[in-house]
Homo-oligomer: A and B are copies of this chain.
Amino acid sequence: MSSYRAPLKDLRFALYDVLDVEPLFARLGFADANAELVDAVLEEAGRFTTQVLAPLNRVGDEQGCTLDAATGEVTTPAGFKAAYAQFAEGGWTGLTAATELGGQGLPHTVGVPLSEMINAANLAWGNFPLLSHGAIEALKDHGQPWQQEVFLKPLVEGRWTGTMCLTEPHCGTDLGLLRTRAEPLGQDTYAVTGTKIFITAGEHDLTENIVHLVLAKLPDAPAGPKGISLFVVPKFKVARDGSVGARNAVRCGSIEHKMGIKGSVTCVLNFDGAEGYLVGQPHKGLQAMFTMMNTARLGVGLQGIGLSDRAYQNALRYARERLQTRSLSGPKAPDKPADPIIVHPDVRRMLLTVKSLVEGSRLLALHAGTLIDLAQHAADPVERQNADVLVSFLTPISKACQTEWGIENTYHALQCFGGHGYIHEHGMEQLARDARITTLYEGTTGIQSLDLMGRKTAATGAAGLKLFLEMVEGFVREHQGDAVLSPFTDALQLKAREWAQLTTEILERAKQDPEEIGAASTDYLFYSGYVVLAYWWARSVAAANASQHDAEFVQAKLETARFYFARILPRTAMHAAAIRSGAAPLMAMDQARFGDA
């Protein structure tokens, strides 16, 4: 079975040395969130995830969830319920929620390492509390006062969990097609009827109630995406005084048999005139949904990092233990029958690929966390606005790249095990199967790419990109003439300028042909991701040099950065060439000529 230890040292480096969060938290009014407290939280989170959740990871995969077809009730794998109770009791569900809602009032940034560790320890389990965050955000921003009063506290305290009910059999991305309808019953109450699929944590035995946030159409709804409204539909009805009543008419019809995340339940939910309450304005459901989705997307991005880190730790251990063939440059462990495979350059290539992507992604994710805190708490409205623009720009990059890298990283880590990686015993194949969902749910990589290229770039005059490039130029200026840094800052600056140039080229071409947006999108997303990580690697080198960390740690950051710039950043050349080849090679072929299917 694969093991997991919490990466506390690197998390601390990222938070304090690179992102310098302590003064930031103080400035944003989180008076208590000093390094001492944050450290204590990280350590406790490390203990909970490694000791309680990690041992249940394989159990979840082997047992899966089971549906009692007669009652529509779902049983989670052995140990999941007790772990969840401990999680809620420990106050983890409300770590970053406001104290007036029963939360602990810590910065959003502090929740990021918690999520990473949960995902590394037990991704499937982590999906049960995951979507509560989105439900909380949606209700906080768009719910009526009584809804906030009644639903938020139990969600924050983890007594209830939330879901996002968007997808239907015939519509995923294209929510304008949805058919679930809501008939008014008076007093903002509606009868919701329809079938929703792929509902994560749609039914389970962990909590006494489940709060579904459901997209549906009112009788007078305009056609398409502008006719969608959002409803809160609890499993057990909830009165305006907060009292929980009868079972609502929503029922789990079946659960999916999936490639992985078997411990997580994926439900078909049948709403049969279920009592629901309108959230926000009629026909304005999409806006509230985006609130939920952005939260969920950053959360799924963290799944990629968590899985990657666990995969790395296990591959590294195996590469140090497994003895196989001698180094080409002479024996490295002459007292043993063969050398550990970590001496072989191709094994190092795989390990360093994972290491550089994990540690770089960690900074991308934590930086996004700080931007959310800034967007919510900065005193200066311009700073708030800029943080919001930048995190909106980084969200699709973070979600898509971190999950695609999660697939790549679990691939490399499994590959380090040779044939042993393919059998259940070592747990590596579970990580690979679990990772495979992350580029699909909460918007596929293709959808993230369109969001980045369309809504976040073309539609904003590349506002987010400009903010990021300013950070890059500022960093480069700050380190001008630094001999250790210049190999990194020189390369970074070149790539950042090419990034801006590519953006201009695409937007220019798109004026002639709108298909240029979609044709460039995925390569543009990856290009962006690699430059963003180059920035964080350059900053990591600078921060490590300026830090009090031991020489080995500082040296490891320098060497990993060198690897990243030598071996990973050149991927941008391939993406730039693909972008510049334009839409024609994709669009020329008539549908019929793709072949027989």
Contacts and interface: CB of A to CB of B under 8 A. Distances in A.
A247 interface: no
A347 B566 contact: no
Contact of A325 (B174, B312, B324): B174
Nearest to A557: B593
Nearest to A585: B566
Interface stretch (A96-104, A117-125, A294-302, A514-522): A514-522
A334 interface: no
Contacts of A240: none
Contacts of A198: 419
Listed residue (A259, A329, A439) with the most chain B CB atoms within 10 angstroms of its CB: A259
A540 interface: no
A455 B584 CA distance: 42
Contact of A555 (B7, B340, B593): B593
Contact of A552 (B170, B258, B323, B592): B592
A577 B573 contact: yes
B314 A522 contact: no
Tell me what chain A mostly uses at the interface: helix, strand, loop, or mixed.
helix
A419 B594 contact: no
Contacts of A552: 590, 592-593
User: Which residue, of A9, A555, A595, has the highest number of chain B Cβ atoms within 10 A?
Assistant: A595
Given A347-B446, A573-B573, A559 B589 contact: yes
B562 A424 contact: no
Interface stretch (A127-135, A211-219, A375-383, A428-436): A428-436
Contacts of A515: 327-329, 345
Interface in A11-34: none
A167 interface: yes
Interface in A390-436: 407, 411, 414-415, 418-419, 421-425, 429, 432-433, 436
A172 B567 CA distance: 28
A253 to B, nearest CB: 15
Number of copies: 2
A555 B590 CA distance: 10
B573 A259 contact: no
A423 B258 contact: yes
A484 to B, nearest CB: 14
Contacts of A343: 591
Contacts of A588: 559, 562
A596 interface: yes
A337 B571 CA distance: 39
Interface of A: 5, 7, 9-10, 167, 170-174, 177, 198, 256-260, 266, 312-314, 316-317, 320, 323-325, 327-329, 337-338, 340, 342-352, 355, 407, 411, 414-415, 418-419, 421-425, 429, 432-433, 436-437, 439-441, 444-446, 449-450, 513-515, 517-519, 521-522, 552, 555-556, 559-560, 562-563, 566-567, 570-571, 573-574, 577-578, 581, 583-597
Closest 6 CB pairs of A and B: A570-B577, A566-B581, A317-B597, A345-B518, A259-B429, A316-B597
Given A257-B424, A351-B594, A566-B578, 20 more contacts: A167-B419, A177-B324, A256-B423, A259-B429, A259-B432, A260-B422, A317-B597, A328-B514, A345-B519, A345-B521, A346-B519, A346-B521, A348-B586, A352-B589, A415-B446, A552-B592, A552-B593, A556-B595, A567-B581, A570-B573
